[in-house]
Structure 1
Amino acid sequence: MTHTLPPGTRDPDARPLRPVDADRFRRALAVHAAGVVVITAQSEGTPVGLTATSFSSVSLNPPLVSFYVDRSSTTWPRLRAADHFAVNVLTADQAELARRFARKGIDRFAAPTRWRPGPLGAPLLLDVSAHLICLPYESIDVGDHILVVGLVTEAEVHEPGHPLIYQRGRFGRFLPQT
């Protein structure tokens, strides 16, 4: 796969092709709604976690999922050191929980966060739609982020409510059409 355009490459209007500027790119991506998860792990006896809106399924066979994390994340080094992690799929009424796991400089697992240890020790947040327990499968540096792929070893679906959605810098609810 090519990462840069060959010199002199042009679009149909004969303009040189080059990457869009960061502000325009950010504004365009903001209109895309994304589901919200919290990735959690136990690292050196301490629970760690972060909010991700870049979560996606990758493969059914083997069962793989992915998320991206900013290279500057202070949580990523501790997540990376864990031998497994959990994906907690948030419900529409858990926006404050998503905000909490996106904040820096706080104990994200202190009250009012409600959680329990999972079967392998990763913290599982309570009242979520689903938990996926994953083994690290691959991580790849991509631009200013790291693509993290996990092999799903356990999946628990709870009472699935409406999902928490993130769009244009805000959390919201999905309302199905009838």
Structure 2
Amino acid sequence: MPVARPAPEAPSSEEEPATGAVDADGFRRALAVHAAGVVIITAQSDGIPVGLTATSFSSVSLDPPLVSFYVDQSSTTWPWLRDADHFAVNVLASDQADLAARFARKDIDRFAEPTRWRPGPLGAPLLQDVSAHLVCLPHETVDVGDHILVVGLVAEARVHSPGRPLIYHQGRFGRFIAHP
């Protein structure tokens, strides 16, 4: 005699598969719960220092040493960065939220006071008091959606202070607190 099996439970609304286009606001809210480290990408183009804040920084490969970040295709800083023969990744420390906000703003001289920096070994601006610097040679760029993936070959890596990093989470900068 066949055994009666209970009907499967209907999936909760959280488990239902997506059936249409993703809502832009919902997508942004979902991405906002992911915490990301904060860096400032700097370069010198035609003798002018340029830079921008990025939260999309990532390691790519150890051999060869590659890192990446994404930049919005509408960025007014990107054409200057693209033309540079190298760039620096400045890994921000937890007390550098003001610096991150400064390099995220438009229509200001990001390198004027109170920004403190010096030219790096190849000329790219290196911001002072950051946790680490990575000096990179352009390796590859790829158009991806409304952004550009930038991959750099690391030519130099220096750790200055391995303290707490600056984190970006839910539209705000914050600090990392380790579990006891």
Q: TM-score, normalised by structure 2?
A: 0.89
Larger Rg: 2
Segment drifting more, 21-30 vs 46-55: 21-30
How far is the alpha carbon of 1:18 from its aligned partner? 4.0
2:68 corresponds to which of 63, 66, 69: 66
Aligned residue for 1:28, secondary structure, equals helix
* Mapped partners of 2:57, 2:24: distance in 1: 21
SS at match of 1:156: strand
What is the root-mean-square deviation in Å for CA atoms of aligned residues? 1.3
Q: What secondary structure sits across from 1:91 in the alignment? A: coil
Q: 1:164 aligns with which of 163, 166, 176?
A: 166
Question: Offset at 1:50?
Answer: 0.1
Unaligned segments of structure 2, at least 5 residues: 1-14
Q: 1:107 to 1:16 in 2, by over 3 A?
A: closer
Who is 1:132 aligned against? 134
**Superposed CA offset, 1:6-26 (max 9, x none):** xxxxxx96x774441211110
Is the aligned partner of 1:92 residue 2:94?
yes
> Match for 2:125: what amino acid?
P
1:7-156 superposed matches below 5 A: 17-156=19-158
CA distance in 1, matches of 2:129, 2:94: 11
Structure 2 vs 1, CA of residues 72 and 177 (structure 1 numbering), >3 Å: closer, same or farther? same
- Name the structure 1 match of 2:3: none
Q: Give the letter for the 1:146 counterpart.
A: I
In structure 2, distance between residues paired with 1:16 and 1:46: 47
1:92-133 deviations in whole A, cap 9, x for unaligned?
000000000000000000000000000000000000000000
Residue type at the aligned position of 2:36: A
The sequence identity of aligned pairs, in percent, is: 78
Unpaired runs of at least 5, structure 1: 1-11
Cα-to-partner distance string for 1:118-150 (whole Å, 9 max, x where unaligned): 000000000000000000000000000000000
Q: What amino acid does structure 2 have at the position aligned with 1:73?
A: S
Q: 1:165 to 1:45 in 2, by over 3 A?
A: same
